[in-house]
Amino acid sequence: MSNVDVSNVRGHMISTLLVANRGEIACRVFRTCGELGIQTVAVHSDADENALHARVADATVRLPGAAPADTYLRGDLIVKAALASGADAVHPGYGFLSENADFACAVLDAGLTWIGPSPEAIEAMASKTRAKTLMGLPLLGEVTEDDLPLLVKAAAGGGGRGMRVVRHLKELSAALEAARAEALSAFGDGEVFVEPYIEHGRHIEVQILADTHGTVWALGTRDCSLQRRHQKVIEEAPAPGLSEELAEELRTLSVRAARAVDYVGAGTVEFLVADDRAHFLEMNTRLQVEHPVTEAVFGLDLVAEQIRIAEGHALPTDPPRARGHAIEARLYAEDPPRDWAPQTGTLHRLAVPRGVRLDTGYEDGDLIGVHYDPMLAKAVAHAPTREEALRKLAGALEKATIHGPTTNRDLLVRSLRHKEFTTARMDTGFYDRHLTDLTKPAPDPYAPLAAALADAHGRSRFGGWRNVPSQPQTKRYALAGEEIEVRYRHTRTGLEADGARVVHADARLVVLEVAGVRRNFEVARYGDEIHVNATHLTALARFPDPTAQHAPGSLLAPMPGTVVRVAEGLTAGAAVQAGEPLLWLEAMKMEHKITAPSTGTLSALNVVPGQQVTVGSLLAVVRET
């Protein structure tokens, strides 16, 4: 621990602040700094040299390399960057080193102001096992069949990494081994523990804000139950449907946790709620991704409050009153029905209608790379009631312009409108139950026609129209996993299409009238990728390339990433069963399991642990028996 007297550091007026992070949270902190008149410093990896957070900062410092372990997890390099740039304070954001007590010590030892709790508080709550002991809660001892199902969890870190659900005791040993390996890779700490897995609980948390003068605020509750891979997708404040008694119990327990470690700054205490009972999960000693919903409801800027607290200012005795309801949806570059596979490529356009807050680390034209989390943005709606906030956010996402790789936008809209969610009956198993229905393809049937007409715009002026009957023009598109062929004609009066009257067509806007109803279709094309309103299509060549073939049973990389491990003892010639895990890829902070497509023989294994692969790389071949 640091030998620096933190009280001597606090009280210093901050003039230049370095954010030891990247992307959306760095941009978020810089925005508040700009409003407070504080100069900003960004650190960036080589992969982030042209990232938005590096572009908007007043000064930047390079961290050589691309992997997090070489860059954003190098506390020594970040402290050097702060000193070299003249920064007098460091904000850790969330993730990376935000809950690393040694990093907080290094910042303080360098004479810099640390925007966060003391290293001692971070250390006390860093391990979930130690936190439970501190809270006076028992740990699960020897497990039996009666304890099933179980949840294996990493003692350090979060974000769903190092977690495995166990439904049969025979699976426990393998789950422990896999969780330890992932936890060691993600957090540098392989400690894991086991607790009962509550199937239908709600994930509820309380925002804490505490100053150096003994005041602790419990800023209401948040519901974060909608999760994929134990990572949150939709959050809201206040948590709906809680009894006042339970809400008060959660606030009381959270304040008790904060006081137990002399907490200072912003933090979050997390619970699993089932049968109107609260089960303590952990305390996150940092700002949460979902903090904007609390800001909206309480009319606060939590980053500004963090800075003021670090400068020694006191909070008022009582927090502001909560007003209305706020809901946040995390927009990810990922493909939910394909095991949430992260997507990469150029984000050509990102915009949401006015009235909805958008926190993002991207601008139009930015590249979504392979090295970091695939979250593009957070969209937040605030309204007097939950029903109004739901409608506002779902409508804004539906009308948002998102041109680029596949995203979870449609899933978010459908989730916000699902009856189980609108009636506040959701729990952490929501996507386990409903993912198939929520991701059924429902493309606009007229989108391919609109794309073809936009592409054909103006061709009649260069010989497209003929004075004699002719065959219709055809175009082919890939849409929702299917090939679609559309037909249209150039006529004396313009473009014609079966089933719809063409009211207007140019390269960017097509207006069709179907059964007396006119609809506008905005069209944008980037190479072979076409966006028609919210529908994404791919233009196909008129004649398919006969060389673009793979042998039956070929396993292709669904994303760019790193092969982190291969199943033990797996070699070419081995017999495999359908669904059997063969290898694991890591991409964008997530681990993805590659399984055998059928029962047969592994006729080829083309990769080894540590190997980098690109989308479509041939990983292995299974010859079906």
Which residues are the active-site residues? 286
Closest CA to 17 of 48, 45, 2, 39: 39
Given the structure tokens 């901050």, which residue do they identify?
A: 14
Question: In sequence order, what DSSP letters do the residues of 387-403 get, joined into one string?
Answer: HHHHHHHHHHHHH-EEE
Give the chain's radius of gyration (CA, Å): 27
Contact predicate 187/96, CB 8 Å: no
Cis peptide before 238 (omega within 30 of 0): yes
Within 10 A of 351 (CB to CB), how many other CB atoms are there? 12
Residue 247 to residue 231: CA distance in whole angstroms = 23
One-letter amino acid for residue 625 of the chain: T
DSSP letters spanning 372-435: S--EEEEEEEEESSHHHHHHHHHHHHHH-EEESS--SHHHHHHHHH-HHHHTT---TTHHHHHH
Half-sphere exposure of 54 (CA within 13 A, CB side): 14
- What is the C-alpha separation between 74 and 63, in angstroms, rounded? 9
Residue type, 282: E
Q: How many CB atoms lie within 10 A of CB 317?
A: 7
Q: What is d(CA 118, CA 75) in angstroms, rounded to the nearest whole number?
A: 16
Q: Is 38 left (phi over 0), alpha (psi -120 to 50) or beta?
A: beta
Helix or strand or coil: residue 394?
A: helix
| Cβ 307 vs Cβ 36: under 8 Å | yes
Residue 42 in tokens? 């960004």
Q: What single-letter amino acid sits at 375?
A: M
